[in-house]
Every structure is written in C-alpha cells, then in structure tokens.
Amino acid sequence: MFSDYHTHTLYSNHGKGHPREMAAFAVEKGLLALGFSEHFPLPQEIVEPSQGSANMHWDQIDQYTKEVREAQEEFEGKIKILLGYEVDYLPAVDGQMRANLAKYPADYWVGSIHIVDRFRSDHESWLVDFSPEVFEEGMAEFGGPRAVYTRYYELIREFAQKYDHRIVGHLDMIKKFNLNKRYFDTDSEDYLSQVEATLDVLKATGKIVEINTAGAFKYIGEIYPSDKILQMILHRRLPVCLSSDAHQPDHVAREFSSTWQRLVKMGFEEVTGL
C-alpha cells in the first residue's frame, strides 16, 4: 500500500482537478495517504519570473486550504489526507518567506528548489525547470553548467539546514534538460561530490528524499533521482518515499507499482510515511 505526498491541483495554475477529485482517485487506487503540496505563494518582494511561476497566488491560498480540509472530512476513514505546500528556498527574501509560512500552518512541507537566484542581469528570478531555452540562457549568464549545479545543490543543503520541511522534492531536478548529458556529466566525480555532500546534510537533518516518478514523463525521461543517486541513498540508509508530482487526478500515484518493483530489486525495503 502506497502513499503519495507530492500532488498539485488546479491551484498550481497549470494543474487540473479539485482536491476532492484527487482524493476520490487516490481512494480508488487504494492509497493509504494523500498529501497536497501546492506551490506556496512567492513573497511579494521577489522579482517574479516573466515566464510566470507555478506558485499559487495570494488570493488563492485560503480557498486551497479550505478545499483540502473539506476533502479531509469527506474522506475520513477512507484515506489519510494531509495539507501541505511545496516550498521554495529564496535566500534573498528568507525573512519574508518564514513570516508567510508561519501564517499558514500545514501538516507538512515538501522543500524543492525551482529558482536558482536571478538572471537577466539580476532582474529576474531564474526558474531552472521552465524550458531548455531559459535554462541555457541562465546557465550562460551564471558562468556555465558547473557553477549552476554547484549552486543548485548548495541551495538544497542550506534549505535543509535552515528549514524543517519533512520531504525533499525532486532531488536532482537540475538534470531536467540535460538530455544525453549535453551540458554536464552526471557521472563525473565533481557532480557526484555535490550530491554526496547534499545527501550527508539530508541524513543529518532527518529529511525524507522523495523518489519522484514525474521525471519519467518529462524532458529527461527518467525519475528523480537517478539510479546512481538512488544507490548512494541506499548506501546511506536515507528514508525515502514515493511521489507522483501529479498535476491532475489520474496522475496520482502514477507508476508507483512498477517503480517500487524496480527499487526493491535495487535493495530498497521500505518507504517512510508521514
């Protein structure tokens, strides 16, 4: 029996489905628990990416929490429903972010890096998962791929040390557009040393690393994190959970059975629940 703690609804502004529709599908799939992790709104002080962000707008958050709490009541006894957020780490507006989070208590958070500082001469937040073109543009400005992945993993470490999110989202998402290792070698000692340092921090801070099946349906066509990183996780005995990152009801728990079978073959024995 699985649980899925990383899902989005129509409130992500590119997803479909109300919380109760997602919950109904999760019950049909026989899940133990379903967590909603809508993108927490960005602080107003931040320079929004011009591509538009996936984050909820401030005028949507009350309706989102209301609908999740309603689904919690409606499906009580059938499935455990949790209210969560997928939270970004933005060092430049850290104080504001913390103040905002304190105003919206949740059952848990998923901590994910989507924004790596700024680009376009410091004028805009750089969404590293938006498109290959935006990724290339930012990378050129940032000083190349090595500087980018180094900063990306550094942000994950800082985030883990400073915030108490339970789950770390799509750990190696920085590879999203790195098809056929076109920008950087994810098997190189340098790249893996960044991953290693990050896993050590995640272990020390008691985080759960999600194994996110959505990557398999994205540009890179491979789950997050990669098999190589999964082996490192296994070696360190870091707690893991399965996540779909669904953006519509019928994607909840997508590919969980087949992924879990594969993970068991690798040596994984259990998933950690909330």
Closer to Zn ion by Cβ: residue 4 or 245: 245
Q: How far is the CB of 233 from Zn ion (least distance, A)?
A: 19
- Binding to Zn ion by residue 112, rule CB under 5 A? yes
User: Which stretch in 20-28, 71-79, 81-89, 220-228 sits in contact with Zn ion by CB under 5 A?
Assistant: 81-89
Q: How far is the CB of 210 from Zn ion (least distance, A)?
A: 10
- Binding to Zn ion by residue 212, rule CB under 5 A? no
Residues 144, 120 contacting (CB under 8 angstroms): no
Residues 196, 247 contacting (CB under 8 angstroms): no
User: Which stretch in 13-21, 108-116, 153-161, 195-203 sits in contact with Zn ion by CB under 5 A?
Assistant: 108-116
Q: Where are the beta strands (DSSP E) in the chain?
A: 3-4, 33-39, 80-87, 108-111, 115-119, 124-127, 167-168, 208-212, 240-243
Closer to Zn ion by Cβ: residue 245 or 267: 245
Alpha-carbon gap, residue 44 to 97, rounded angstroms: 10
Closest residue to bound Zn ion by CB: 112
Structure tokens at 272: 């950690």
- Binding to Zn ion by residue 4, rule CB under 5 A? no
**Residue-by-residue DSSP string for 188-234:** SHHHHHHHHHHHHHHHHTTPEEEEEGGGGGSTT-S-BS-HHHHHHHH
Site string for Zn ion, 225-254 (x = CB under 5 A): --------------------x---------
User: Under the rule (CB under 5 A), what is the footprint of Zn ion?
Assistant: 86, 112, 169, 245
